[in-house]
Amino acid sequence: MISSAVDPVQLEEVRKRVFLALFIALAVALHAVEYLLPSPLPWFRFGLANILTLTALFLYGVRAAWVVTLCRILIGSLLLGTLFSPAFLLSMSGGILATLLMTSSFRFFRPRIGPVGVSVLGALGHASGQLLIAWLLIVRHPSIWLMLPFFLLFSLISGIINGLAADMLLEFLLKHPAFSRLKNSCRFSVENNDTGSL
Amino acid sequence: MALGATLKRLTRFDRYLVLSLALLVSASFLLLWGRQSGSRIVVDADNRTVFTAPLDDARHFEIEGPLGTTRMEIADGAVRVLSSPCPQKICIGLGDARRAGDLLACVPNRIVVRIEGEKEGEAYDLLSR
């Protein structure tokens, strides 16, 4: 698995790029499937793509998380035909606020906070960001804030679910040799239950 | 079983964070409680106010939008949408609006109906443009 003929630092860089590309592709796929699912409440989405943002954040750091989120929103909107539409603005504003909250909570609280905590903050930020832009640009009447509690409740639940899924994904990925170098630098608590990859 | 392991890995900070946020969200629901009953409806088509009426008198009215005519009625101190040319009919599904701040909207037809309360007094009882 580890090639001895290649500079390990370079190898790690390339690996990171490849995996980020995979994460983005998965995130776009999840985003698209969610968008296409019929639902009586059209604006309430689970945001499953955030699972990949969280994974990128915990594995590769703040910048990687931003890359995954922004690319996911742009490519996803392009694919779904909503690029630059009002729905895109809502998605963008929610995504930016969510990622801001996630990356800052990650940076400041890192050893103590885990994927679930970061995810919940991200989900709540997403909902608030969307309502904020909807209020400023579309509805323009304070009555829209009456929907805030329902959105927040839904975000809380989906945030917890996404966080748990991301945690499980991280745990699963970190067991693979491709991520062995990251074990010590990324996670909030590392259970070294396998003997190593080399 | 992966879920069990994950739940065990939740840090104390995480648990407290989620708990306090859950409390915050529940508290936000209390904001919905203390709202006064409405006295008037204001209808905006395309972000321009085109119609206001008191909630006390029963009446039927129609508002024109880009997709067609949306029919609404005021009855029993509440306003509701009867029919609308939009594809998903979410506006009809929203039901009654009766308290100050309640909102009904048919987004495809660009119509928003809001309820205003006692305090926001106006000089006229009914306005139609």
Instruction: Using CA coordinates, name the residue in chain A closest to B116.
Output: A143
Residue A3 has pLDDT above 90, yes or no: no
Residue A20 has pLDDT above 50, yes or no: yes
pLDDT digit string, tens, across residues A62-73: 999 999 999 999
Query: C-alpha angle B22/B24/B25, rounded to 5°?
Result: 65
Query: Quick check: A123 and A47 in contact, CB under 8 A?
Result: yes
Maximum average pLDDT range among A31-45, B11-25, B26-40: B11-25
Residue A157 has pLDDT above 90, yes or no: yes
Residue A198 has pLDDT above 50, yes or no: no
CA dist., res. A24 & res. A38, Å (int): 24
Considering chain B, what percentage of its residues have pLDDT values greater than 90? 5
Average pLDDT, rounded, for chain B: 81
pLDDT digit string, tens, across residues B53-70: 888 888 888 888 888 888
CA distance between the termini of chain A: 8
Contact A167 B9 (CB under 8 A): yes
Residue A60 has pLDDT above 60, yes or no: yes
> What is the pTM for the complete model shown?
0.70
Q: Which of B22, B32, B93 sits opposite A156 (nearest CB)?
A: B22
Q: What SS3 class is residue B85?
A: coil
Q: Tell me the pLDDT band of A197, cut-offs 50, 70 and 90.
A: very low
- DSSP category for residue B36: P
Give the dihedral of Cα atoms B50, B55, B56, B60; nearest 10 deg. Answer: 60
CA dist., res. B30 & res. A165, Å (int): 31
Q: In what order do the strands lie in the sheet with B68-75?
A: B59-65, B68-75, B78-83
Among the listed residues B54, B50, B51, the one whose alpha carbon sits nearest the alpha carbon of residue B121 = B54
Q: Tell me the pLDDT band of A192, cut-offs 50, 70 and 90.
A: very low
pLDDT digit string, tens, across residues B106-128: 888 888 888 887 655 555 667 67
* Residue whose token pair is 């304070």: A142
Rounded to a whole number, what is the distance in Å from the CA of A9 to chain B's nearest CA?
Answer: 31
Average pLDDT, rounded, for chain A: 83
Residue A188 confidence (pLDDT): 52
For an interface test with B, the pick among A119, A143, A151 (most B C-beta atoms closer than 10 Å) comes out as A143
